[in-house]
Amino acid sequence: MPPKRQRPTLRDVATRVGVSETAASFALNGKPGVSEETRRRILEVAEELQWTPNHAAQILSGARSSMTIGLAVARSVQDVGSELFFLRLISGMHTVLSGHRYGLLFQVVESVEEELELYRRWANEKRVDGIILVDLRIDDPRPRAVAELDIPSIVAGGPDPAGTIPSVSIDDTAAMQTVMQYLSTRGHHRVAYVSGSASLLHVHRRAEAFSQAGRDYGLEAADVLQTDFSAAASARATQRLLATNGRPTAVIYDNEVLAVAGMREIQAAGLQIPADVAVVTCEDTPICGVVQPALTALYRDTWNFGADVAGHLLNLIEGNPDTGAVEQVPELVVRDST
């Protein structure tokens, strides 16, 4: 059996170039203190030797960096697995992180309390250099908790009402107003909203905007039915809506999973989409374009959203001031369901 190839070390790189280990470290970490010509040569040799940082040794020596970002989601595994939003979000994050040699540590937990305990464990073990928060709750304890752990953190969504940590946010209020204005121009008079959990801040903001836009545009926006984001819950909510005397002329669903389940119930009741009931979803995915009829949906570039979140967090990790950003308001893509 051939001898196992030894991992190239920082000393190997420095020796090959003829500089000190300190100079090699400065060059490889993008710090000042070496000439551009020396930095170029060090980087070339590091690539030639296939040198990579020994993160385990860095952590044992007391260095902060683990070159890892943490992301936890407090939802059911089935819920996370069924939403393309999370896959696109993570893909966008990963592209930016991997370009800077960072990894993403992703974990699904059952509750916010479990999520907080996970962050404390990550901090104690120096597992992550930064944390991305998703699904902000009303009176959410997590932004303050991660700030107290002194780990650079950012909210994907939001913003955090307390302003404890920065966020890359989407204006859910403006997005819902866009949908309601469109439905008003189409002559709808009674609209319902089948939402996710009301404990989620973005759902709460959408529901408030739904009711306010109903008043602004003269629509009867009387029904907000909450679900757990599952298809079964959407089916039950849609059945309730169709059983009322004042059946809605249009229904807005929080995502494509809820919308497709709702469409099935509407059609099973012998109603036509959109002639009897129009359908809109707040999340555009490839599914929306292939179901029959194709779904009118709010489109946001979730991949770039994830990339922006990762970029802002890396900026914070590098010690730069960063107040986050506000993404463009999602665009309504009109299809056959309206």
Global confidence as pTM:
0.79
SS (H, E, C) 163-193: CCCCEEECCHHHHHHHHHHHHHHCCCCEEEE
Q: DSSP code of 75?
A: S
- pLDDT reported for residue 50: 82
Q: What are the structural domains, with CATH classification, of the chain?
A: 10-52 (1.10.260.40), 68-170+303-329 (3.40.50.2300), 172-299 (3.40.50.2300)
- pLDDT reported for residue 47: 85
pLDDT in tens, the chain (338 residues): 445 557 788 888 889 899 888 888 888 877 777 888 888 898 898 888 887 766 555 554 455 567 899 999 998 887 777 778 888 999 999 999 998 889 999 999 999 999 999 999 999 888 899 999 999 998 999 999 999 999 999 999 878 888 899 999 988 899 999 999 999 999 999 999 999 988 899 999 999 999 999 999 988 876 899 998 899 999 999 999 999 888 999 999 999 999 999 999 999 999 999 999 999 999 999 999 999 999 999 999 999 999 999 999 999 998 888 888 988 889 999 999 99
Tokens of 272: 């036509």
Q: How many residues does the chain have?
A: 338
Tokens of 296: 């009118």
**CA separation for the pair 255, 196 (Å, rounded):** 9
**With contact defined as beta carbons under 8 Å apart, do 219 and 248 qualify?**
no
- pLDDT reported for residue 83: 75
Looking at the DSSP bridge assignments, the partners of residue 326 are 169
